[in-house]
Structure 1
Amino acid sequence: MKFEKVRWGIIGCGDVTEVKSGPAFQKIRHSELVAVMRRTSKLAKDYAERHHVPKWYEDADALINDPDVDAVYIATPPSSHKDYAIKVAKAGKPVYVEKPMALNFAECNEMIAACKAAGVPLYVAYYRRALPRFVKIKELLETKAIGDVRFVSTTQYQKVSENVKDSQTLPWRVQPELSGGGLFFDLASHTLDLLDFLLGPIKEAQGFSSNQAGYYRAEDIVTGTYRFESGVHGVGNWCFSAFEDVDVNEIVGSKGKITFSTFGNEPIMLTTSSGTEQWSFDPPMHVHQYLVETIVAELTVESSQCPSTGVTGARTNWVMGEIAY
């Protein structure tokens, strides 16, 4: 499936599409954003006018079946990812879906099967796989900068968000029927998928999840352990009701360690017996752009392969399910 130019449609033009993703489709060579959809027509029209998108819809089926739309980016909460992805696949169009890929691993597999049956590619928006700071970490690992990798540890905790303290106005991210879980499902998915990218697939996983603060039904603390196919071990602690914000990962090897954050912009630190080196990267204006560039390149005449597919995205859903659900 090759295009001279990929003409994109977006289903769900909410906050994530304002800066993180939406503008990237218009800035990439051989790519164009031609249509957007939101259930509230006034908001869909407003988005289209502000972002200079020629078409807007309040009905997803109309966008999916628009002959001027070649590929569809699904930017809705996970509860609707599966249904929209299957519809797009049946329309014979490539699918780019937000993360987490779906509510659970079983839904991921349905999406993969539908896209395979339709002969269309399926991509998942784990954009960190293409960001230069994390590509640098992969390069350090592949060049054995820390020798043989032994284990990886993740510590992420943060204060309780004010917007979850009112049970009447809970954000969708802590409503399991919409998001698939709580903030672990939303945020830890980035780290776990990134570890899959850096260290390969996780073979075994287990853990504990609890709700300690009681602001919502979903879990607010998770502890997990896992073993990669390579034999590397891993441990992670995530807490969303702590006294401060911390985000740190360490990959430890036989000759050194690499320290980095998932969400921050602190320098990547390489520590060995020779001392410490560090690399800094400016945050991109549109964080999806590097990944979308690989998708567009794969879908056009250029030679490329996107590093985040339905298969890799489903693995992350499986790991989270084993650890917390």
Structure 2
Amino acid sequence: MDGVAKDLTGRPVRWGVVATGGIAAKFTRDLAAEPDAEVVAVASRTEASAAAFAERHGVPAAYGDWAALAADPAVDAVYVATPHSAHHDAVRLFLEAGRPVLCEKPFTLDAAEAGSLVALARERGVFLMEAMWMYCNPAIRRMVELVRDGAIGEVRAVHADFGIDLPPDPSHRLLDPALGGGALLDLGVYPVSFAQLVLGEPEDVTAWARLRGGVDTHTGMLFGYPSGAMAALTCSLVADTARTAVVTGSTGRVEFHRGFFHPRGFTLHREGRAPEEFSEAGPADTLAYEAAEVARCLRAGERESPLVPLDGSLAVMRTLDAVRERIGLRYPGE
């Protein structure tokens, strides 16, 4: 198998889902409303967990190990929704089996792991994409077009934040360093990816964080770029922030309100003009857009997505590595 579906004409893309947590459930629910996609199998580390998930969501096949799903001929593509710490091993298994993979963000724990997966996918000619749903959102795509067309002039600053007030439950995965917990990889990846979408990979990275129990709970980042632009970004597990984003240029700015990572629209401010409201049709809070991009790529015979390019995912991981170095955050085994 070369990793690209041979013939998807006249039928939906059939997905296998790896893991049974909240994001796997959301992906399955969101795809249930889409005529071009269906979840046909789920895999977990235990048969009981997979079977319970399959019963709740009406999934035909359930497997107690990942290899069994990799061998299922009914599966066209695999969605990896495990905790961050398991991404590398899961994705590698499916790539080696020739299965197209959509892997939840962050891609892996670090850039070295991400690089090894990208190298394997390219060597085997197998499709691979990070599940950065924000990049596939229609409003985000429209903003990128406007900025690239010069709607706000030269980009000079990006501000973005994503913070939640997490209950102090020591058993929560976000507080477990063994699972790659902390604010940065789970929440901070969004502001970082948003800034990169507009400004690219930063030249200079400064960061500060409050560390507790082996994870970062409150992190601030300041990035500098060769153009002279900057990005000021924050993420938190101890503060319910506004979760907004602003791109400021020499002649205007674009403002995203709460939930900038899955927006329905935005406001464009330009010098000498009244504010312009942009709104996209269709749902905003759905993972179906990323699944649709995978389907489009598979039908076109593309091994990488131009919307969520692998080189971009690697650049984000390098930036996250740089932030972790600045704040002194190390995961077990590093």
Q: TM-score range by the shorter chain?
A: 0.7 to 0.9
Distance 1:18 1:286 in 2: 14
Give the AA of the match of 1:227. G
Q: Deviations over 1:28-74 (max 9, x none)?
A: 45543221112232331232233332211011111112222232111
The equivalent residue for 2:22 is: 15
The residue that corresponds to 2:235 in the other structure is 238
d(CA) in 2 for partners of 1:47 and 1:128? Answer: 26
Aligned-pair distance for 1:27?
A: 4.8
Name the Cα RMSD after superposition: 2.5
- Among residues 104, 118, 121, which one is paired with 2:124 in the alignment? 118
Deviation at 1:230, TM superposition (A): 5.3
Which of 58, 68, 92 aligns to 2:74? It is 68
CA contact (8 A) 1:151 1:234 kept: yes
Instruction: Tell whether the 8 Å contact from 2:87 to 2:107 is kept in structure 1 after alignment.
Output: yes
CA contact 1:28–1:293 (8 Å) conserved in 2: no
Contact conserved, 2:140 with 2:263, CA < 8 A, in 1?
A: no
Tell me by how many angstroms 1:265 deviates: 5.0
**Contact conserved, 2:95 with 2:101, CA < 8 A, in 1?**
yes
The share of aligned pairs that are identical, in percent, is 26
SS at match of 1:259: strand
| 1:200/1:229 contact within 8 Å kept | no
CA pair 229-311 structure 1, distance change in 2 beyond 3 A: farther
1:33-112 equivalences under 5 Å are 33-112=39-118
Aligned amino acid, residue 88 of structure 1: F
* SS of equivalent residue, structure 2 residue 72: coil
Conservation of the 8 A alpha-carbon contact between 1:2 and 1:301 = no
**CA distance in structure 2 between the partners assigned to 1:129 and 1:253 by the alignment:** 20
Cα displacement (A) at 1:156? 4.1
- Displacement of 1:240 in angstroms is 3.2
Partner of 2:166: 161
More moved, 280-289 vs 247-256: 280-289
Q: Which amino acid aligns with 1:146?
A: I
Question: Does the 8 Å contact 1:225/1:235 carry over to 2?
Answer: yes
Q: How does 1:302-321 map to 2 (within 5 A)?
A: 305-321=305-321
Give the CA deviation at 1:234: 1.4
Amino acid at match of 2:22: D
Return the alpha-carbon distance in structure 2 between the equivalents of residues 109 and 72 of structure 1: 19
Q: 1:263 to 1:48 in 2, by over 3 A?
A: same
Return 120-129 or 10-19, whichever deviates more: 10-19
Return 257-266 or 31-40, whichever deviates more: 257-266
Hey, what's the Cα distance between the residues in 1 that align with 2:142 and 2:178?
A: 37
- Deviation at residue 226 of structure 1 after TM alignment: 1.5
Q: C-alpha separation between the residues in 2 aligned to 1:106 and 1:91?
A: 21
How far apart are the structure 2 equivalents of 1:272 and 1:287?
Answer: 30
Q: Deviations over 1:263-283 (max 9, x none)?
A: 475851222222322234577
C-alpha separation in 2, matches of 1:230 and 1:24 = 40
* Structure 2 counterpart of 1:3: 6
Q: For the structure 1 residues 3 and 14, does the alpha-carbon distance in structure 2 shift closer, same or farther, using more than 3 Å as the test?
A: farther
- 1:113-137 Cα shifts (integer Å, max 9, x gaps): 1212221121011011111121121
Alpha-carbon offset, residue 232 of structure 1 = 2.9
Shift in alpha-carbon separation, 1:295–1:277, aligned structure 2, 3 A: same
What's the TM-score, normalizing by structure 2?
Answer: 0.84
SS in 2 for 1:111: helix
**TM-score, scaled relative to structure 1:** 0.87
Q: Which runs of 5+ in 1 are unaligned?
A: none
- Structure 1 254/22 Cα, relative in aligned 2: closer, same or farther at 3 Å? same
- Choose from 229, 248, 251 the match for 1:255: 251
Q: Distance in 1 between matches of 2:158 and 2:140?
A: 15
User: Is the Cα contact below 8 Å between 1:224 and 1:323 reproduced in 2?
Assistant: yes
Contact 1:152 1:233 in 2 (8 A): yes
1:265–1:323 CA distance, 2 compared to 1 (3 A): same
Out of 244, 267, 270, the residue aligned to residue 269 of structure 1 is 267
**For residues 281 and 297 of structure 1, do their structure 2 counterparts lie closer, same or farther at Cα, with a shift above 3 Å needed?**
closer
- Cα deviation digits, residues 184-233 of structure 1 (max 9, x gap): 2201102211222233333432322222xx4x331122221223465532
**Match for residue 140 of structure 1?**
146
Which deviates the most, 227-236 or 293-302? 227-236
1:154 shift after superposition: 2.4
Cα shift readout 1:231-277 (whole Å, capped 9, x = no counterpart)? 532122334324x5322222111111111142475851222222322
The aligned amino acid for 1:308 is V
